[in-house]
Amino acid sequence: MAEARDRFDVVVDTVSTPHDLGPYLRLVALDGTLCHLGHLGPVTVETTDLLIGRRRLTSAGSGGRPATAAMLDFCAAHGITADVEVLPSARVNEAFDRLRRSDVRYRFVLDLSDLD
């Protein structure tokens, strides 16, 4: 994180659990924006993290189906992918155990193709 400080014009935060936004704001360059997607509940932000570097904090919910489809088309056209770990649905109990232990990097995706 220290090496990436003040480096990005836009940071899109998709972490879906309450967390400190400060480290992510410090990644944003002069006049940059941290955009959080989703619902965190109550958020506390040190105003100096916004004032120094003239940073902005924005948020957005879902854009709905048309915007989601357009975003997926854009990602496909530009080779943008998500880092996920795919497990067959037969390993769902393992997935839940690992979630409880916080032993998941990025996101789990259950592959349902093994279901009848």
Q: In this predicted structure, what is the pLDDT of residue 28? A: 94
Q: In this predicted structure, what is the pLDDT of residue 76? A: 95
Please give the full DSSP string across 50-95, using - where no structure is assigned: HHTTT-EEEEE---HHHHHHHHHHHHHHHT----EEEEEGGGHHHH
* Predicted confidence pLDDT, tens digits, the chain (116 residues): 888 999 999 998 887 778 888 999 999 999 999 998 877 778 888 888 888 889 999 887 766 788 888 988 999 999 998 888 899 999 999 999 998 898 887 788 888 998 87
H or E element that contains 43: none
Q: In this predicted structure, what is the pLDDT of residue 62? A: 66
| 3-state secondary structure (DSSP) of residue 15 | coil
What is the domain partition of the chain in residue ranges? Answer: 1-80, 82-116
Superfamily of domain 1-80: NAD(P)-binding Rossmann-like Domain (3.40.50.720)
